């Protein structure tokens, strides 16, 4: 699976392992359900419910990680903007110094 090859947090890894186990259990339950002439679907429904719960958990973890990354990006942008402002003030200061040196005429 492609999701498995990405870097996972410990919580994501735990939930993803549960999801894989539940998917395998669902496959087994479906085989039993088919072999029983479609009589008892309780286990199939139970595993589908567990899978939905796992997917919901993964979604929550992804949203939280996204918020963290957005916060980190915002901090980086704020830092860059601060340094840009400092650079502008420094250039104005240098321009004023150069202007004073050029216009200063010692007698």
The structural domains of the chain, with segments of one domain joined by +, span 3-77
DSSP class of residue 38?
S
- Contact (Cβ atoms closer than 8 angstroms) between residue 23 and residue 51: yes
pLDDT mean across residues, the chain: 93
Q: Give the 3-state DSSP-derived string for 5-18, with helices as H, strands as E and coil as C.
A: HCCCCHHHHHHHHH
Residue 107 pLDDT: 66
pTM, to two decimals: 0.71
Query: Stretch 61-82: mean pLDDT, rounded?
Result: 96
Query: Stretch 97-102: mean pLDDT, rounded?
Result: 92
93 has pLDDT over 90? yes
Angle at 76 between CA 85 and CA 11, to 5 degrees: 165
Query: Stretch 53-67: mean pLDDT, rounded?
Result: 96
pLDDT range class, residue 3, cuts 50, 70, 90: confident
1 has pLDDT over 70? no
Dist CA 61 CA 8 (whole Å) = 10
Residue 106 pLDDT: 72
Sign (positive or negative) of CA dihedral 47, 50, 54, 56? positive
Report which of 49, 50, 60, 62 is spatially closest to residue 3, judged by C-alpha positions: 62
Report which of 71, 44, 59, 55 is spatially closest to residue 19, judged by C-alpha positions: 55
């Amino acid at each position: 699976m492609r999701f498995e090859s990405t870097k996972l947090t410990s919580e994501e890894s735990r939930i993803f392992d549960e999801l894989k186990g539940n998917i395998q259990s669902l496959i087994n339950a479906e085989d039993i359900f088919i072999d029983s002439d479609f009589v008892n679907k309780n286990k199939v429904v139970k595993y589908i419910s567990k899978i939905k719960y796992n997917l919901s958990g993964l979604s929550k973890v992804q949203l939280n990680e996204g918020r963290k990354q957005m916060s980190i990006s915002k901090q980086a942008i704020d830092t860059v903007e601060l340094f840009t402002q400092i650079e502008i003030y420094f250039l104005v200061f240098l321009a004023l110094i150069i202007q004073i040196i050029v216009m200063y005429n010692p007698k």
